Amino acid sequence: MNGTRIAGLGHYLPERVLSNADIERMVDTSDQWIRDRTGIEQRHVAAPHETSSSLGYRAALMALEQARVNPEDIDLIIGATTTPDGLFPSAASLIQDRLGAVNAGAYDVNAACMGFLSAFSAATQYIATGAYQRVLVVGTEVLSRIVNWQDRGTCVLFGDGAGAVLLEAAPYGGPLGFVLHSDGSRKLYLYAEGPCGPRDAEGNGAPPHLCMINMDGPALFKFAVNAMANAVREALGKSQLSVADVDVLLPHQANLRIIQGTAKSLGIPEDKAVVTIHRYGNTSSASIPIAMSEAARAGRFEEGARIAICSFGGGLAWGSMIYEWSTTGVAPERRPVAAASASGG
């Protein structure tokens, strides 16, 4: 079984910044209300000509440049998005074409905010089995296209952006354990209808407001903290590690209070959590790779660090991965595993 090293990372945010003050002029809300309840100060919004594939291409290009890898050397591209350019082809295929990755297969994963973790876990398994040597994972979203800008409960939350990770087979590094869960019975907590949904007797589809993001905020908040914390505990158990072995918590950036609640539930100090939500809002599938790219550039991840990645999203879907960080693929001097129970914290 192969290990996996992080060969390159990239992220891209559209130029336009939408501040809380800007949203105050659109709906009945306030900067203080948004900051207090979400931790968000601003978010980026795609220009009319930008799409998920164009944002994803920019992030992917940055990752390949850092890795010094030619596009034709990529074996597979997995896109994670809920807002593809169209129903088909996949955003990953459009990114593959624009990069010139002529030897790569490509497909999308749509698991809402769980999209990146789902795609990332699949990518590591392609490498672990030896099927592929280099896999590019791109999380990219233009959520501004499906936000109801008259709904003050949701329009303050979301932003656009993209993040990319190039994974490469190596002797060391990669997932120590991961879990993926889903409960479709909770669909109405967070959903958006689409053009292929059910029709009424007259042949009409869902009304426009149901084709935008709809959310039961209180129910989702209560679910999210427990789901992410429990998923981390499960992944730690599979990794034969304890909460004390976690060096960095890398959560989906949905709400600052959810991030804080998850850290508290696990007993992980808040300063171990990567937080970008104040600048970008919730970018769904893009939130974790953007945060990963920024944190790596800031020196947050040492070689051999154990990263607890966790997420939740529409489905409802949730999960976690304990990832042993390596950019070199060479094992550092191994530190001892903490003595606490794997379910501790």
Phi, psi at 60, each rounded to 5°:
-65, -40
Taking only Cα atoms into account, the Rg of the chain, rounded to an integer number of angstroms, comes to: 19
The two tokens of residue 271 are: 């300063």
Residue 113 region, left (φ>0) first, then alpha (ψ -120 to 50), else beta? alpha
Residue 280, classed as helix, strand or coil, is: helix
| Terminal-to-terminal C-alpha distance of the chain | 31
Here the tokens at position 118 are 């789902």
Estimate the crossing angle of helix 256-266 against helix 217-239, to 10 degrees: 40
Contacts of 168 (CB under 8 A, 6+ apart): 4, 5, 7, 67, 69, 127, 133, 134, 329
Tell me which residues are annotated as active site: 113, 252, 282
SS3 sequence of 24-55? HCCCCCCHHHHHHHHCCCEEEECCCCCCHHHH
Q: 122 in helix, strand or coil?
A: helix
- Cα distance between residue 68 and residue 16, in whole Å: 29
Q: Which two tokens stand for residue 282?
A: 């919730």
Residue 35's closest CA among 323, 198, 277? 277
